[in-house]
């Protein structure tokens, strides 16, 4: 196992230390496992190349990728510099994408791979977390799309929205940090990651809330809504309650499932489904 942690500040811009990764490696080795520490800062294609090469040099192959890199800034949407925003996006989205891209041909060639993308419920909106939420939302889209491409090669891609104690939660006020430490130990998240990384796994493209002993699938839904071939702003206004009503939701797991929702009203004449 390669344990990567650049060990810097949560802003992702401050130089770090390999000591955090090394501490985890020491625990793994003490328990009888094999691991090496890596201090590359996730966020570029070059960093991804070096991390993957480290894994290949140490272990000869890559079977599992856990995209757990993250960092955040707190403030209004206009509170940050361009450099700060770009740094958070690199760590939370660009870096994980580059790592997925680097391991993909290895996993495809060996006919096996498990990828778990660690996202955040900040995607759903909390306020003051714009760059972080945007980066993790990008990872959500990547998870769903890569799952399509990976399934034929036994590369199963899934994701989680974790709630767990971490270095980030330790920067919160003491009562909140204590609550996380008491109820949301990291191992209550890693249990699901271990399952999603296992050979017995037989699904992909799914996302789960996990923390504190709770695990639940998270999904996107819509409703039947309004169909009006002569739609206008006025007809939308007149039917806005119907449009917003989610009392009878339908799960929308894929782009194609969303497209099929139109077929009730509009015949398909777009050629073979699944092609652009």
Which CA distances in Å does 185 have to 33, 135, 167, 176, 188? 21, 24, 12, 13, 6
* Catalytic choice (132, 180, 195, 262): 132
Which CA distances in Å does 145 have to 60, 150, 159? 28, 9, 12
Cβ–Cβ under 8 Å, residues 104 and 155: yes
User: Two tokens at 162?
Assistant: 């974790």
- Burial (CB < 10 A; 0-12, 13-18, 19+), residue 212, is middle
Q: What is the DSSP letter of 264?
A: G
Active site includes 132? yes
Strands 207-211 and 221-222: unpaired
Secondary structure, 3-state, 209-224:
EEECCEEEEECCEECC
Enclosing H/E stretch for 24: helix 19-30
Q: Which residues have C-beta within 8 Å of that of residue 94, sequence separation ≥ 6?
A: 43, 44
Q: Of the candidates 100, 66, 88, which has an alpha carbon nearest to the alpha carbon of residue 14?
A: 88
Cβ–Cβ under 8 Å, residues 232 and 258: no
Positions marked active-site: 132
């Amino acid at each position: 196992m390669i344990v990567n942690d650049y060990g810097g500040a949560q802003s992702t811009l401050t130089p770090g230390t390999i000591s955090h990764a090394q501490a985890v490696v020491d625990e793994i080795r003490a328990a009888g496992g094999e691991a090496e520490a890596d201090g590359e800062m996730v966020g570029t294609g070059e960093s991804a190349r070096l991390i993957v090469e480290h894994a290949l040099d140490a272990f000869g192959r890559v079977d599992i990728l856990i995209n757990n890199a993250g960092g955040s800034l707190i403030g209004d949407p206009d509170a940050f510099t361009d450099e700060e925003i770009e740094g958070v996006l690199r760590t939370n989205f660009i870096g994980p994408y580059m790592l997925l891209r680097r391991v993909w041909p290895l996993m495809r060639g060996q006919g096996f791979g498990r990828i778990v993308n660690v996202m955040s419920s900040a995607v759903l909106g909390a306020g003051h977390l714009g760059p972080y939420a945007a980066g993790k939302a990008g990872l959500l889209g990547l998870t769903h799309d890569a799952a399509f491409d990976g399934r034929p090669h036994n590369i199963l891609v899934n994701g989680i929205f974790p709630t767990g104690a971490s270095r980030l939660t330790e920067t919160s006020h003491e009562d909140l940090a204590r609550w996380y430490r008491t109820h949301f130990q990291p191992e209550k998240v890693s249990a699901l990651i271990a399952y999603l990384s296992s050979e017995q796994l037989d699904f992909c493209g799914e996302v789960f809330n996990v923390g504190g002993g709770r695990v639940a699938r998270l999904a996107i839904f819509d409703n039947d809504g309004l169909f009006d071939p002569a739609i206008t702003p006025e007809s939308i206004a007149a039917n806005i309650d119907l449009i917003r009503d989610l009392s009878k939701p339908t799960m929308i797991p894929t782009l194609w499932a969303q497209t099929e929702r139109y077929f009730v009203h509009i015949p398909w004449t777009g050629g073979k489904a699944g092609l652009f």
